[in-house]
Structure 1
Amino acid sequence: MRVILSLFSFLLFLTLAGCGSNPAREGAGRAPEGSAYGGGGGSGNFANNPAALRFAQTMQQRHGYDATAVMSILARAQRQNWIIAQMNKPLRKGSGPSVPTGAWNRYRAKFITSDNIDKGVAFWNQHRAELQRASATYGVPPEIIVGIIGVETRWGRIMGKTRIIDALATLSFAYPRRSAYFTGELEAFLLMTREEGIDPFKPTGSFAGAMGYGQFMPSNIRRYGVDFNGDRHRSLWHPVDAIGSVANYFKGHGWRTGEPVVVRATVSGPGAGSLKAGFDTNYSLATLAGAGITPAGSLGGAKSASLLKFDVGSGYEYWLGLHNFYVITRYNHLTYYAMAVYQLGNAVKARIGGGAPRMAAVR
């Protein structure tokens, strides 16, 4: 999702609830024929909220979305105080411990397990044709698409159960610190449901408003969502649309087809410790070499790279991030997240290519 929000850091550590058994239907039900969505009024927490009333007027002026209809929807939305509590939980700040504690090992172990890789193989095999079509259309490798969906929702198994209208109304009208951002997402959500003919009370997802296999925020569904299965709807709850949309997201953020993503670095001497590490750093190869850092593989002609540092407990592992690694961080601004996506996707690819996968038969 930013993007798909760098609120994934919340989703990872606060643990999202699981999705229903039929997410493609339960996550985003089509509106009944002729439905105005707001029938019967409602007595929710936002029925007479001044900010909600102003929002409804804006929707009418800006998009021709009848203000009464907007208020009828918002009047039925429910304030969820637990969402505000989750948003207010402090994030850990600072430079972290001065000695390695194995943080990367623990993070990586959340995603890259034998069982999870097997499930990724099943997803890849089931959607092989669509993954290859998305790769050919948008220039993004299948393993990156698979890695994103695997890290975000375990290939559709954990998409969230929070009603999106409740989440976005709560964060728009009862959470002043980020109200401007979430009001924009609420606007995009109502426009999306109107465009797609979806009952706005049906979509469910994360407590921050992210939805579907790829956990897109509403603005990104409207910007990057594609109808990849040909049913004339963009539905991130459908795996095929999600595959195309994730690929389109990366293309829109500048993915360079055929270029490497990240390369392991070899380090000699203490010089690496003097350089700042992070996906947003950028060092010439000469500067890196001067600090005793050299690539262990081809950089594909790149003249500079970011320095990435991973705490593996016994010390630090260094990698060199290239342009496409930075593009992955546009999905979520965490170095560990981007590396987990890269390594999970490639682990699935390797298992598919390494003989018969250890998995149940795909139906």
Structure 2
Amino acid sequence: MRHPKHFVPFRRTIAAVLALSAFSTVSLTACAKPPKARTVAAQDDNAPDVVTYGQREDVMRFGAELAARQNLDPAWVQGKLAESRFVPNVAKFIMPPPAGTAKNWAAYRSRFVEPIRIRAGLAFWRENEKWLVKASAMYGVPAEIVVGVIGVESIYGRQMGNFRVIDALATLSFDFPTGRKDRSAFFRDELEQFFVMAHSEDLDPLAPKGSYAGAMGMGQFMPSSWNKYAVDFDGDGHIDMNRSTADVIGSVAHFLAENGWQRDKPTRFAVEPPVDTSDRATLLGPDILPTFTVQQFGERGAALEARAADYDGKLALVELQNGAAAPSYIAGTENFYAVTRYNWSSYYALAVIELGEAVGRVHRAQP
């Protein structure tokens, strides 16, 4: 896995990957390698030529091996894989922005901390306050953070993706595009976990829809994270991340708690970075990983806000570029780092935090 400073991995969410196009337009010209075998499926989506994987020996072999590993019916697995489709747009959308594209925190932030998401977040909070309170009590994750995650990921269920999950995962498993680091092994693992999820939830694998990378539901969980962290928070016997806001809230909070969230701790402090370039480089070296104490920040010439004086945890000096303008800086805590476990991007994490805080301010101000 590449260093988090340079790579946003695919796990539960892909919304923040889409959001990276705030820095530039995502390249749609990269060529995916063509499928090895073609067969025309029923044209139920008005496509003139739909490519399915039913005649691919490697896909059928993968299905048999998957079924054996997971103790699933091989005919069921192979039959569903045979109906999965190569989707050219999936192969295009997975490509990164052009090399050398300048990041811009101000532009990125404006896509998420904006009136539409704030209004939708307020309505979501009001309608689900019971579940937010329960999740906070159980997992220690504040309502603001949970609301921020769901708002950034899917605008509270408004944008959950229109790709069949099996198609997205099959395309990236068996025909990952050239021109970037090959992630096909990762997506084959996710495809396997998708069949495990479909079996446990008694779902038709051809039915679920999600992002171009296979992330699902309001929280945009990848299948492996669904299987590991999703919870039946409303106790109805099923995990429904599309319609059950309770399950979504509980699952997001559970994920963060399992990935290092610390109850009643802040996410970041305001900071003036060191003037000395050597000191600044030292503090920036570990990237978003909290490494330094408050005292060590001071020794390196970083000026923290007053309320950081009593903080006893570790901090990371986080730099957010603003295009041609001067960068922005924060001192990220262990809880900031926990949010980046949802998506390995400091821009993503700060957008989640600031959206949640904006919704929280409006919520508290309302009678």
Common fold by TM > 0.5: yes
Shorter-chain TM-score range? 0.7 to 0.9
Alignment of 1:100-249 (within 5 A): 103-175=104-176, 177-237=182-242, 238-249=244-255
Equivalent residue, structure 2, for 1:288? 297
Corresponding residue to 1:329 among 313, 324, 340 = 340
Paired residues of 2:267 and 2:335 also in contact (CA < 8 A)? yes
Distance 1:69 1:333, change over 3 A: same
Tell me how far apart the structure 1 counterparts of residues 58 and 136 of structure 2 sit (CA, whole Å): 43
1:309 and 2:319 correspond:
yes
Q: What amino acid does structure 1 have at the position aligned with 2:355?
A: L
* Structure 1 residue 221 displacement after superposition: 0.6
Tell me how far apart the structure 1 counterparts of residues 66 and 247 of structure 2 sit (CA, whole Å): 28
Paired residues of 1:267 and 1:294 also in contact (CA < 8 A)? yes
Unaligned stretches of 5+ in structure 1? 16-42, 357-363
* Structure 1 residue 342 displacement after superposition: 0.7
* Structure 1 residue 13 displacement after superposition: 4.1
Corresponding residue to 2:360 among 346, 349, 363 = 349
* Structure 1 residue 72 displacement after superposition: 1.0
Unaligned stretches of 5+ in structure 2? 1-7, 23-49
- Size of the aligned set, in residue pairs, is 323
Corresponding residue to 1:51 among 58, 61, 82 = 58
- 1:141-184 CA distance string (max 9 Å, x none): 11110000001111111111000011111111222722211111
Paired residues of 1:44 and 1:74 also in contact (CA < 8 A)? no
Paired residues of 1:149 and 1:155 also in contact (CA < 8 A)? yes
Q: What amino acid does structure 2 have at the position aligned with 1:206?
A: S
Moved more, 210-219 or 222-231: 222-231
Paired residues of 2:13 and 2:219 also in contact (CA < 8 A)? no
Tell me how far apart the structure 2 counterparts of residues 128 and 283 of structure 1 sit (CA, whole Å): 36
* Structure 1 residue 85 displacement after superposition: 2.0
Equivalent residue, structure 1, for 2:87? 80
Moved more, 304-313 or 221-230: 304-313
Paired residues of 2:292 and 2:316 also in contact (CA < 8 A)? yes
Q: TM-score, normalised by structure 2?
A: 0.81
Tell me how far apart the structure 2 counterparts of residues 118 and 355 of structure 1 sit (CA, whole Å): 12
Equivalent residue, structure 1, for 2:76? 69
Equivalent residue, structure 2, for 1:10? 17
Distance 1:160 1:14, change over 3 A: farther
